[in-house]
Each structure stands twice: as C-alpha cells, then as structure tokens.
Chains A and B, each alone.
Chain A
Amino acid sequence: EDKVVQSPLSLVVHEGDTVTLNCSYEVTNFRSLLWYKQEKKAPTFLFMLTSSGIEKKSGRLSSILDKKELFSILNITATQTGDSAVYLCAVEAHSGAGSYQLTFGKGTKLSVIP
C-alpha cells in the first residue's frame, strides 16, 4: 500500500524564521510529488517535482526531491503570518491499466506568530 508521511505534524514559529517541512514516501511506480497549501478549505497547488535534485522555487518557497532516499522538503524562508496553513504533500503513482493514484500525507500545520 502506498504511504506518504509528513513531519512534523504541526509547527509553531515566529515571523522571520525559516522552516523546513518534510515528506517521505513509499510508493510503487512513482511518477511525481506535489505540494499544496491549505489555508481554510481549498488546497492550492505549490509545486510538482518529478526529478531528483532540481530545486523548484517560488518567492520565499522552495522544494526539492530526492528519489533515491524517497523524500522531499519544502522550505519557507522569512516566514510571514500569511504562511500559516496546512501544507499537504501528495505522491502520484501509476496504479495499473493506465490509471494514476494520488496519495496524500496528513499534512503539516504551520502557525506563524508575529
């Protein structure tokens, strides 16, 4: 059974801190890893990673994938209160017969306090 584990489950930091969120996975027929930010209800897409060692960057957020060690990290530098959210990691894998399955982790709840 495919498994995605995120750590920590929750994190409280002060504005300006840098945080690193972790996502490890065990899946068969890995295709891609995705990060989402869920503030209130609707998760919004952050990054899709398919290749090892290539950093994806968007403003203060960056992410990298290690397909050998089966994990990804999401970094947020100079955190702001608006970064407070649940960060979801999901792994896409082939599930046979041309179909694909997306398995989500439980998420990391980040709280940034002023």
Chain B
Amino acid sequence: ETGVTQTPRHLVMGMTNKKSLKCEQHLGHNAMYWYKQSAKKPLELMFVYSLEERVENNSVPSRFSPECPNSSHLFLHLHTLQPEDSALYLCASSLFHRLAGEEGELFFGEGSRLTVL
C-alpha cells in the first residue's frame, strides 16, 4: 500500500464513451502525475500538477483531460478514445514537483487498466 489509491482498477469502454479515472493521495504531497504504461514501452509522462496547477502537458491528445480540484485528488477524463489508448494508467505523487533528495521519490498507485474497444 503506497498511499496512492486509483479507481477504477479496470475499465472497459467503447470509443464513444466518456469515463473518468480517479486518483487520491493522503500523503500530504504537493505534486501529482499521470503516467501511461503500454506494453513493451517505457512509462510515459502525461501530466504533472504542482499545487493544483498544471505544470507539464507532454503533447497529450485532447481526448485526455486532467483535472486537479485539490492537492489530494487528480482525475483523468476520457472521451472518444482510440483502441491504441488501451494501457495501464498510473497515478503518482511526490512531496514536491522537483524531485529534491530522498523525499522526492514518486509514490505510485496500483494503476487503472483501460481497454478501449
């Protein structure tokens, strides 16, 4: 248990559906992240929020829309996805956005396994 909770753990959706992934941390961290993990590919950073402000957006298609209402919660809203978007979506948090010393390591959630039909 890392202190970062993601729901749902599994999601199957059609290309025309709208769904959301949720991430919650109660570690008192100030930065939260969305990563995409596809088979045989490195973890890809999608979005970074620091103190509820988006600080990184790594050329992610607009069909992925993040939302950070407060420092403990992060959402990823999904609409009109493509089959190639099927992947494990990992949420992570860290004390600060800048990985400063041993306190800066990322704490990952268990991930949401997304399948787009």
Residues of A within 8 A of B (CB): 4, 31-32, 34, 36, 40-45, 48, 88, 90, 92, 98-107
Task: Contacts A48-B99, A102-B99 given; indicate if A42 touches B4 (C-beta within 8 A).
Answer: yes
Tell me, rounded to whole Å, the shortest Cβ–Cβ distance linking A107 to chain B: 8
Per the 8 Å Cβ criterion, residues 48-75 of B in contact with A are: 48, 55-56
Residues on B lying within 8 angstroms of A by beta carbon are: 2, 4, 40-45, 48, 55-56, 88, 90, 97-99, 101-102, 104-111
Known: A106-B40, A106-B42. A99 touches B99 (CB 8 A): no
Chain A residue with minimal CB distance to B105?
Answer: A45
Known: A4-B42, A48-B99, A104-B42. A99 touches B56 (CB 8 A): yes
A101 to B57, CA, bound (A): 11
A103 → chain B, closest Cβ, in Å? 7
CA–CA, A98 and B110, complex, Å = 29
**Cα separation A101 to B88 with both chains bound (whole Å):** 20
Q: Judge whether A43 and B105 touch: CB under 8 Å.
A: no
Q: Are B107 and A99 in contact (CB under 8 A)?
A: no
Contact between chains at B43 and A104 (CB < 8 Å): yes
Q: With A48-B101, A102-B99 given, name 17 new contacts (CB 8 A).
A: A4-B42, A31-B99, A41-B90, A42-B109, A42-B110, A43-B43, A43-B106, A48-B102, A48-B104, A48-B105, A88-B43, A98-B98, A101-B56, A102-B106, A104-B42, A106-B40, A106-B41
